Amino acid sequence: MAADGLTDLEKRYRDHIEWLFAVRRFGSKLGLDYVRHLLAQIGDPHEDFRSIHVTGTNGKGSTTAMIASILGEAGYRVGMFTSPHLSTFTERIQINGVQILVEEVVRLIEEVRPLCEEMAEDPELRHPTFFEIITAIAFKHFSEEGVDYAVLEVGMGGRLDATNVVKAQVSVITNVSLEHTEVLGDTVLEIAEKKAGIVKEGGVLITATADDDVYRLFQEICGDVGSRIFWVGTDITFQKLGSSYEGQTFNLNGLSRSYERLTLPLIGDHQLLNAATAVGAVEALRFHGVEVAGDAIARGLREVSWPGRMEVMQTKPLVVLDGAKDVKAARAVKEALLSEFTYDRLVAVVSISSDKKITEMIGEIAQVADHFVITSHRVMGRAAKSLRIAAEVEKHSKTHEVVGDVRAAVTRAIELAGEEGMVIVVGSVFLVGEAREIWHEPSNPFSHLEY
């Protein structure tokens, strides 16, 4: 044990995580040349496994988790790569639901860090970005651990996202709306065209877009590259049967069979749409000679874990967490609150990252909340100023107060709601991750070193 009370492993982990997070100063740079160069230095690990690639404006994380869960229940060794994390970095890289070990994070960063520094010194290259580095680490981990499939969530866009070095057998585009317009384009169709860059020759595209023009664009692109395309809502349909605080039941008509009374532990109609998309993606593997049994699909949906998305933490008062990241996600939370829950009084604990559409997000939440407790999550430089959020709340004539510490804010909201009331913690995955630690300690015992 060192004089500062940290073990050697803890010190190395802290050093490497601090270095990795500091790389964010380089920002996000789309393109594949530099991540390909880095991957080549570590043996092109992305060529060692089959993959399913998931993009979309909303729902891609939930859909990724469902696909990975189904394939795991089917007996495959499945890597899952998602972002961002709720509480700890190791959540981003998992195999069959088990997060990458801290020891492996340290070892892999120690392997790639000198390579990144060499790239930074080469005038024809540049330092890899944060996302390029963690993509390389994830792929190396999946290769070394011999996964059969990797289910990969795109970081931003599609065509030029670092994950798009893979040749996915199945591509998924959940939906498309305006996001990252400064990088991806000013119109939905421009953004859709970039997301469709993950579609591969000989592959299959599953999409749940509700936009006819977007679907026609996807059809054209699939025709150009030689990919099949299937549409959730037409080729894949579902019927909700019932719901409770524990989840939902539904029937589904897929590409190859029908499923009755499927259960899903995630709340909200939008999650049924994600589930139908996930089932379609798994069924589409049959075009590559892989048939996944219906009982594995049912078990995978029933056992899926995707924390922080309309997640019930307690009752009396009811406390629900949702890391809604944008206006569409906030609207889905509002709709779920109206359709799935009953309460006397709703108190919203809110922190929103400064780069989000705060006016519109508060506008959605204010339609159902009686009172706001405004707080600030601990991810430095990301949380919007409380006064800015308060100004938006006041436009809707809602009462509010500011409690700077997240734990104290949640405690205050619970007190205000009363036994028959409800608390919704919403507005940022960073807020939800921090609040969730009130009920669940992070699985990574070194997570306190990440902030």
**pLDDT given for residue 417 in this prediction:** 96
Is 131 in the same domain as 256?
A: yes
Distance CA 380, CA 388 (A): 17
Residue 248's DSSP bridge partners are 243, 264
The sign of the dihedral angle between the CA atoms of 136, 59, 274, 432 is positive
Residue span of the structural domain in which 435 resides: 311-450
Name the amino acid, one letter, at 205. Answer: L
Name the nearest CA neighbour of 284 among 154, 199, 171: 171
Q: Is residue 17 included in any domain, yes or no?
A: yes
Distance CA 190, CA 200 (A): 19
Q: Is residue 397 included in any domain, yes or no?
A: yes
**Which of 241, 272, 303 is a domain's end point?**
303
Is 284 in the same domain as 315?
A: no
Is 375 in the same domain as 260?
A: no
Is 331 in the same domain as 262?
A: no
Is 154 in the same domain as 74?
A: yes
CATH no. for residue 349? Answer: 3.90.190.20
Distance CA 74, CA 294 (A): 9
Q: Is residue 3 included in any domain, yes or no?
A: no
Is 192 in the same domain as 260?
A: yes
Q: Is residue 1 included in any domain, yes or no?
A: no
Q: Encode the chain (451 residues) as per-residue pLDDT tens digits.
A: 554 678 999 999 999 999 999 998 888 888 999 999 999 999 999 999 999 999 999 999 999 999 999 999 999 999 999 999 998 999 999 999 999 999 999 999 999 999 999 999 999 999 999 999 999 999 999 999 999 999 999 999 999 999 999 999 999 999 998 877 677 888 999 999 999 999 999 999 999 999 999 999 999 999 999 999 999 999 999 999 999 989 999 999 999 999 999 999 999 999 999 999 999 999 999 999 999 999 999 999 999 999 999 999 999 999 999 999 889 999 999 999 999 999 999 999 999 988 888 999 999 999 999 999 999 887 655 566 888 999 999 999 999 999 989 999 999 999 999 999 999 999 889 899 999 999 998 878 777 677 5
Q: Is residue 232 included in any domain, yes or no?
A: yes
Q: Parallel, antiparallel, or unpaired: how do β-strands 237-244 and 78-81 relate? A: unpaired
Q: Is residue 415 included in any domain, yes or no?
A: yes
Distance CA 298, CA 262 (A): 6
Is 142 in the same domain as 255?
A: yes
Determine the 3-state secondary structure of 175 from DSSP. Answer: coil
Compute the C-alpha angle 60/65/69, nearest 5°. Answer: 150
CATH no. for residue 251? Answer: 3.40.1190.10
Distance CA 75, CA 182 (A): 42
Distance CA 149, CA 72 (A): 9
Is 278 in the same domain as 353?
A: no
Is 98 in the same domain as 138?
A: yes
Residue 55 zone, left/alpha/beta (φ > 0; ψ -120 to 50; rest): beta
pTM for the model: 0.94
Q: Is residue 164 included in any domain, yes or no?
A: yes
Q: Are 268 and 335 in contact (CB under 8 A)?
A: yes
Is 392 in the same domain as 246?
A: no
Name the amino acid, one letter, at 441. Answer: E
Gyration radius of the chain over CA positions: 22
Q: Is residue 210 included in any domain, yes or no?
A: yes
Q: Are 319 and 236 in contact (CB under 8 A)?
A: no
**Which of 303, 325, 360 is a domain's end point?**
303
Buried b (16+ CB within 10 A) or exposed e, 107-133: bbbeebbebbeebeeeeeebbbbbbbb
**Which of 246, 274, 303 is a domain's end point?**
303
Is 135 in the same domain as 264?
A: yes
Distance CA 417, CA 160 (A): 46
Distance CA 298, CA 199 (A): 27
Q: Are 264 and 248 in contact (CB under 8 A)?
A: yes
The DSSP 8-state label assigned to residue 27 in this structure reads -
Is 275 in the same domain as 387?
A: no
**Number of domains comprising the chain:** 2
